[in-house]
Amino acid sequence: RPESPRPKGPLCAGEAKRACFLHSPNFPSQSSFFLVLSPDKPLTGSRPNYAPPSTAHASDALTRRSTPRNNRPAPEPSAARERAPHHADHPSRNPPGPRGHLPFRPLLTLPMTRTNGSSAASAPGKLPRKRFYRARAHSNPLSDSHFPVPVSPDEFDLSQHYPQYFPEDNGGGEAAAAAAPRIRFADVGCGFGGLLVGLSPLFPDTLMIGMELRDKVTEYVKERILALRASNPGQYDNISVVRTNSMKYIPNYFRKAQLTKMFFLFPDPHFKEKNHRRRVISMQLLDEYAYVMEVGGIIYTITDVEELGEWMRSCLEKHPLFEAVSDEEIKADPVVKLLSSATEEGQKVARNGGQTFQAIFRRVSLQEE
C-alpha cells in the first residue's frame, strides 16, 4: 500500500496511523477525506476522557517507528536490573530482562548422555530407572520411522549386539560366517525387556533379540542389558535389542528358517475396526513369520483382551503353516510360565486380577498337511 501524506502537527503513533488509513487510496475518490487530530484538543465523542500525550512523547513514538531496529540506542538499565546480582557460576540464573522477565530456571535436569546417544542415568552396573525414559504407550507401525535398517540379514552387524560371540576382528571369510551362531529367539514388541531377561538364564547358549519400535523403550532395554552384563560377568551376553518395525522389516534381519521361537506378548489391541490392519498378528504377516521360522518352531501369543486373543487364535488356525500345540506340551514347556510372570505387562495384569488368553502354535510344513 503506498504511503499517504501525513497530517501536519505532532501526533502519537495511533493517531497518525488512523489518519493515514482514512486517507488511503483504497477509498473511492468521491468519499476521500482527511481526519486531522490535534493533540492540543481533547478527542470528543466516544472517548470523552481521552488525554492526549505530550508532544515529546508523540514525536518520540514516530521516531521509533521510522528508525531501523539496528540503529536504535540501547535501553538504559533500570534500577532493578542494576541491583540484580549476576551469577556467573549458574548460567541458568540470569538477571531479569529489560522488561522485568523472571530468570529462567530449569524444572528438571536430565541425566548426562553418552557420546553414542544412550542415556547414562545410573552408574555402570546399576539398572536404569524408567522415569528417565518416558515414552508413548503406543506407536503407529504404518508410519515411516527414521532408523537404520539392514538391506539383508548378511548386513546385520551382530558384533555390536553380541561382542562375546562376534569379535570385530574375527575374520575367516564365508566359512567363519557359516559356522557363527545365529539368533534363534525373537521377542517382537519386547517392551521393557522382561522376557529377554527371564529367558537368558534358561537358554544361556541361545542368541535372542528383542524388537521394539519405540526409541525411548529401546534405549531403556539397551541400558538394562548393559547394566546386567556389568554386574553379572559372563551372563546376559546372549540377549540384545534393536529398534525396528518388525511388521515391515523382519525379513531384513533373519534368514529363511532361522528362528525357533517367536513371542508376541500383550500386543497393541487396536480396537477400532479400521485399525485392525495395524495388528501384529494377521494372515498376511503370518506368511512372513512362517518364512523366518524353521519347521517345528513355536510361536507364542498372549493378551489380556479377549477379542484380540480370539483374533490371533483364529488367524493361526486358518493359516496352513501353523498348528496348535497340545495341552500336554504347553504344561511341560518352561517358557510358557514366563509369558505372564516375566513381562511387565503380565505382572500388571496379575496385580489387577485380570485374565489372560494364550495361543501357542507350531510351524509345520505343507507336506504334513
Q: Which residues belong to the active site?
A: 268
Assigned C-alpha cell, 113: 548422555
Residue 283 contacts residue 315 (beta carbons within 8 Å): yes
Work out the angle at residue 346's Cα, subtended by the Cα atoms of residues 342 and 347, and round it to the nearest 5 degrees: 75
DSSP state of 209: E
Which alpha helices (H) appear in 109-237, and where do they start and end? 173-179, 194-202, 215-231
Q: Are strands 322-324 and 357-363 parallel, antiparallel or unpaired?
A: antiparallel
Burial of 358 by CB count in 10 Å (0-12 exposed, 13-18 middle, 19+ buried)? middle
Question: Which residue from 207, 190, 303, 315 is spatially nearest to 246, judged by alpha carbons?
Answer: 190
Which are the contacts of 224, defined by CB distance < 8 A and separation ≥ 6?
127, 128, 192, 193, 197
